[in-house]
Structures are given as C-alpha cells and as structure tokens.
Amino acid sequence: MNSKYLFRNLIIAFFLLLFTFGCTSTNSRKVTIATAANMQFVMKEIAAAFTQETGIDCDVIISSSGKLTAQIKEGAPYDVFISADTKYPKILYEKGFTSNIPKIYGYGTLVLWSFSENVPLDINLLTQNQIEHIALANPKTAPYGTAAIEVLKHAKIYDQISEKLVFGESISQTNQFILSGAAQIGFTAKSVVLSPQMKGKGEWISIDSTSYTPIAQAAVIIKKDKISDAAMKFYEFLFSTKSKEILENFGYLVPVK
C-alpha cells in the first residue's frame, strides 16, 4: 500500500514539475523592451526580425527616455532599455539598475519637418512672423529636444523664437503637433520621416550635424534576480548585422564595431 501511494505521489510530483517548467519556458519566450520614442518605427522592424529569427515575442513600450528611466527606477517590469541617449542608461547603471555597462547601438540624426504650405524649411527663417509655433520634444526628458535647443542656439535665434516653441513630452507627441498642424514646423528624428508610415509625407530637411552634439544612443539590460534568455538574446540581436542594416535604413549611423 505504501509503495502504491509513493508511486502516485511521484507521478503527481512529476507532472507538477513538468507544468512548472512549461510555464517558465513560456514566460522566457517574451521580452519587454522599453523604447525611446524616436525608435518607435525602427523598433517595430527590429522586433519583427528578432521574433521571426527566434520565435520570441516582443512587447514594446514607447515613451521618452527620461520617463522610461523614472519608471525603471520605480520597478517597471522591463527587460531591456533602448534609450535615445547615453545619459539615462548611464544613470541607471550607476544606480545599480542594469546588469551591464551602456553600449551604443547607433547615432540619431535631427530633421526639420513641416506639413504646412509656404513654410520655409530653413533654420534661419524660423523667425518669420508666419511661423507661430515650432514643435520639439521636451529637452528635460527627451534627448532630441536637447539637440533641437542646441541647433537654435547655434543659429543664434533661440532668444528670438523661444516664445514660439511648443514642447511635446516625447518625439511621438512632437510628431502629432506637426502632423495635426498645431505647429507649422518642428524638429524630429530622421527615423520618423524615413519610416514606412511617414515616408513621403510633408517636407523635411536634414539639420547640419555640426550644430548639435552627436546623439549617441545606448541600450542596457535591466537588472533582475534572474535575467531571462529572451532578454539576453534580444540585446545581442540589437547589435547584430541585421539590426544594423535596419537602423541604417532609418537614417541612423551605426558604430563600426
């Protein structure tokens, strides 16, 4: 009788172990990626390519780098953080929130974009009276906003047009200001105007890269009790040849090594 019960208990234990392993395996087949808004469109393609290659699903959360950093500090369940700069990943690393040193995956570029007719696409003409609102991302939380301010100061027109500036909380909201016409013109990431969703819409010009600090963009793996295989695989894929090709197609410059 005891042997019979022992055998039954062993069978139950086996299936419980199998069930637990199955749940763990399923959970490890998904990675949650906190992504800066300028990477919204390119990340969709990178994530799709990663899923096709590995079978691992991606859950992409879009916001400004500053807001995502604050959420990570509060314990948001993200696996990988894809920032629009190196500052925020460095802050997280120094505070012990990441499992690795920030690594640059690309350099972003800034453009001036408009959907309004008869609006001159020229930095030096932003002072004209016909331009009432100029959109850019909030420089306090969005690196592309910081770069836009640098451009305006480099052109020596910041003081003249400061009252025209309309700040989006991220590049995504900034784009909405431009698309809706709430702002006649604005600064955004080149990756936005080259995306399949926006390509050919409106008019844009590239901004002289010497007029702002290079927008080096870094990624980190968020520290957890146990880093998932999915997170590690995605992080490695981000620096793969395939990802670099996608980044370049969206106007990013990628490190040689």
Give the pLDDT confidence of 55-94 residue by residue, as tens digits. 999 999 999 999 999 999 999 999 999 999 999 999 999 9
Residue 155: pLDDT band with limits 50, 70, 90: very high
* pLDDT value for 209: 92
| Signed CA dihedral, 206, 208, 210, 213: sign only | negative
- Helical (H) or strand (E) element with 26: helix 2-27
* pLDDT value for 13: 43
CA–CA separation, 92 vs 88, rounded Å? 6
- Domain boundaries, given as residue ranges, for the chain: 8-108+214-249, 110-211
CA–CA separation, 120 vs 253, rounded Å? 27
The CATH code for residues 110-211 is 3.40.190.10
DSSP category for residue 222: B
What tokens appear for 15 in the block?
A: 């299936």
Top-tier CATH class for 8-108+214-249: alpha beta
* pLDDT value for 106: 97
Q: Quote the distance between the C-alpha of residue 81 and its chain's center.
A: 8
Query: What average pLDDT score do residues 202-213 get?
Result: 95
Residue 79 contacts residue 222 (beta carbons within 8 Å): yes
Share of the chain above pLDDT 70, in %: 89
pTM here is: 0.81
Residue of 146, 216, 135, 191 whose CA lies nearest to 168? 135
Query: What average pLDDT score do residues 185-192 get?
Result: 96
Comparing 109 with 13, the larger pLDDT belongs to: 109
Instruction: Judge if 8-108+214-249 and 110-211 fold alike in CATH terms.
Output: yes
Q: What is the mean pLDDT of the chain?
A: 89
